[in-house]
Structure formats: structure tokens, C-alpha cells
Amino acid sequence: MAEHYIPENLPTRIQHYINGEFVDSVSGRTFDVLDPVSNTNYATAAAGQKEDIDLAVAAAREAFTNGPWPRMKPRERARVLNRIADAVEAQEARLAELETFDSGLPITQARGQALRAAENFRFFADLIVAQFDDAMKVPGAQINYVNRKPIGVAGLITPWNTPFMLESWKLAPALATGNTVVLKPAEFTPLSASLWATIFKEAGLPDGVFNLVNGLGEEAGDALVKHPDVPLISFTGETTTGQTIFRNAAAHLKGLSMELGGKSPCVVFADADVDAAIDSALFGVFSLNGERCTAGSRILVERGIYDDFCEKYAARAKNIIVGDPHDPATEVGALVHPEHYDKVMSYVEIGKSEGRLLAGGGRPEGLETGNYVAPTVFADVKPDARIFQEEIFGPVVAITPFDSDEEALALANGVKYGLAAYIWTQDLTRAHTFAQDVEAGMVWLNSHNVRDLRTPFGGVKASGLGHEGGYRSIDFYTDQQAVHITLGTVHTPKFGASATH
């Protein structure tokens, strides 16, 4: 096996960034950060506690209340956002290298993340300049208009899969609309988040507008969710954590946007372009090491093509190159952390009693260390199986046959999640009918996961609450105040004006 690649100039200490300064935790507490190939600690990160969150929120609150950022003209903010995008693009190679080292994502897939992050900033820079709000007129009587304003301090809690890109997805609209932020990145992958601090400072973002507190979800994340001066929480992550956040946000009636887990169906009808469907269904669950919320991890295949599909799919899955994340030939890298590796492997073992193992099923040969899982394919999986119902978040897929459109729909909808759905058919009527009946926040017809930033991103059922993307992100990060002006004489009933008692 090739020698483990370690990027140059790796930090050994990762700090918080509060009010324009890199700082340690007040308590001095730290946690270890390891890389998923050697599973050895390469750095210690400051472990944020309530007092660190308090400092970050105070800085963000001050920057919001008395600083220039919320009061700048949209064009001025857009200029800063575009400079941020330029800086992200300029650091693309370094970013990808750090992301791959920290998360185990294959380098070729990590490279695209920086460009997507830059595009998120450009998109919202354009949107706030073009943004206009409604004015409504009642001729001769009244004019009403909407005064849109930033809300305050936004708490952003992000996951460890594609961390930098998903941070940008929240940071760009939150900042574009004039809010200030406290970011709590995932504890497994804190490395790339600290790059934001330098990028933002050099782009001209005022101190205190962006604050970063590292730490564990149950410590730093919990304190951020419960803080009375943080009116908004945007969270991407696992459903049970989302439920905890929902409970803890209730005391202060916070605005919540939550993109949670998924167990998305990929439905392949007999009339589909099967080769294209196989390409997509492989990519949909094995790209990003299978650690993606929108993974098409349940493949439902019409009976007439089922055996042929399973055979071709398994042959391709066995052929996927698993290896060092920094090798450009690698298609599946190392899972993010030993804890997560153990979880995925436990599902692989469960699957052996719930389905017919067609590929994978354990650690790939020749990779004795590191969090490597061979792309694993189970066929003939029943709808009540745990590997059909539960989110695995790794390179593991369940294939199930169906006989009719009705059965396909029942199978597709028969889980608690509802994030994405992928439908493969040449029948136009069926495509649209099925798409509209499936319980999913997003549907892709004869394609996979191609994102248009103008469209809503979010799920139904256990997959989330609210939508982000385009104007919906702007709606989430702003208050829309209705201002009413009366034209002409006001006719008001004269209570208490009568002289008779």
C-alpha cells in the first residue's frame, strides 16, 4: 500500500475564532482530532463550552447591534461576498487537500467542494443585489410595503460530510442578508473550518460578524442552541440530534431550519435506460464514501429487469477502487472516524441476515488499517429489514424488487425519511405522477443530485424542517415586516363617543 499522504503545514492546534481573534477555550479544554486513514491524532482542537459560546454570541451580538455589517447597502455586502468567493477558489487545491485528509473523501470529489462553496457566495451576492420586496396598493385608500431586515445572530451547526461546502451553504445566505453568525463545525472534521477566519478577514468582513467555536455537539452545540441571544438555528445532521435541537429551541421559540437524515429511494422501471440508471445508482450511493444525506441507498427495481440489474450493479460495485483518499484513482476513500466505521460495519453484519450479499460485505483486501469499507450490495431486501428502514450513511445499498407502480410507491414511501427520490423511466406521465406522489422534498427524474441553487433544498417527514436555497434562504434569515400607510381619510368606529348613557 502507498505511504499515507500528509499535507504540509498541518496545524497541531485548532482554535476558536471570536471577534476577529484566534483563541483557546476559556477552560483550556481540548479534544483530539484524528485522520481516518491512520486513525492517529494529528491535532488538538479547542473544546468550546458554554462560556466560549457566550463570548462568541456577545461578539456577534455587538457586531449586529452596533457594527456596520447589517447597515451596509446590498452592493457593498455583495462585494465582500464576491471577494470571499475569489479567495475560496484561489485556495481550491489546499482546501481539497485538507478536506480529504480530515474527512477521508476522495481527492477528486473534494476538489469540487471548494468550487461549490465559492458559487454559494456568488449566488447570494447576486441575489441580495437583485432582491426586491412587495408593495401592495389599495387605490385611494392604502399602500402597504414589506420591510425586510436581518434577524440577528444566526447559530450554524454543520456536519462532517463535505464540511467546508456545507458551511458555505449556511454562511453565504446568513451573511448576505446582514446577520452575524456563530459557526459550530462538526467535531470529527474541524480542520477546514478555520480557513474561513482568514478568508473572511482578508475579504473585509468586519470583526465579530463571523465567529467560530469548535467542540462537541452536546457541549458547544447545546450551548449555542439554548442561548437566548441566538434567534436562529440552522442545522444539518442526524435526525435524533435534530429532535434534541427542536426540543431545546422551544424555550426561546427560535427559527429553525433543519436538514436531517435520509433513506432515499432510487426507483428503476423496466422501460428505463438501464445503463444510465446503473451509472447513477452507483454514483448516488458510493460517491462521497456513501456519507451523503441524499444517497439513493434503497434501489427499487421492476421485476422484469431485476435479475439483470442486480448482476450488472454488483459487478460494477466490486470493481470500485477503494483506497487512499489522496490518490486521484480512488473512488471510495476512508470513512470519517472509527466510531462511524464501527456503525457502518455493524449494519453490514445485520444485512447479511436480511438480504443476499452480492458485493463487498467487509474490509477490502490489502487495506488492513484505516476506516475502509468495501462497497456493499444486498439484494432481495424486505421492506421491514433494518437495512431498508435505517440510515447507514456509508457505502452500503439495499436492492428490492417491485411488480407494479403502486407497489413501487408504497415501498418508496414506506420509511420514516423523505429527503430525496430518484426515478428512472421513459414514461412521461408515470414520471410526473410518481414524482408528485412520492414523499420526498426533492425528486430527480432520470438524473442524480444535480443542484440548482434557486430551488428549495429540504426534506419531509423525519428528513427535516423548512427549506433553504434561493429566496427561501433569504426568507429564513430575514424578518418580513409589513408597513401599512393609509391614504385619505381614516374611517374608524367612534367607540365611546355617544353622549347618551
CA 254/CA 234 separation, integer angstroms: 10
Kindly tell me the burial class for residue 319, based on how many C-beta atoms sit within 10 Å of its own C-beta (0-12, 13-18, 19 or more). exposed
- Annotation marks residue 293 as catalytic: yes
Cα 101 from Cα 117, distance rounded (Å): 18
Are the C-beta atoms of residues 227 and 51 closer than 8 Å to each other? no
Answer whether 286's CB lies under 8 Å from 375's CB: yes
CA atoms of 115 and 86, how far apart (whole Å): 10
- 286 contacts 320 by C-beta, under 8 angstroms: yes
Residue 214 cell numbers, joined: 469548535
Rounded CA-CA distance 69/222 in Å is 27
Strands (E), 347-486: 356-359, 376-379, 396-402, 420-424, 442-445, 464-465, 478-486
Q: How far is CA 238 from the centre of its chain?
A: 10
3 state SS of 431: helix
Contact 213, 135 (CB under 8 A): no
CA distance 182 to 180: 7
Residue pair 289/104 in contact by the 8 Å Cβ criterion: yes
| Secondary structure of 128-153 in HEC code, one letter for each residue | HHHCCCCEEEECCCEEEEEEEEECCE
Active-site residue, selected from the candidate residues 97, 187, 219, 259: 259
Calculate the alpha carbon distances from 386 to 26, 292, 343, 352 in Å. Answer: 43, 18, 13, 11
Site of grid cell 491512520: 38
Q: What distance in Å separates the CA atoms of residue 102 and residue 363, rounded to the nearest whole number?
A: 20
From 293, 302, 354, 391, the catalytic residue: 293
What is the grid cell recorded at 407? Answer: 407497489
| Eight-class DSSP state of 367 | -
Which alpha helices (DSSP H) does 67-162 contain, by range?
A: 74-90, 92-103, 107-130
Residue 244 neighbours by CB distance under 10 Å: 17
Is 259 known to be catalytic?
yes
Q: Which grid coordinates belong to 79? A: 462585494
* Bridge partners (DSSP) listed for residue 181: 154, 210
- Classified as helix, coil or strand, 420 is strand
The answer to whether 293 and 451 have CB atoms below 8 angstroms apart is no
CB count within 10 Å of CB 447 equals 11
Positions marked catalytic: 259, 293
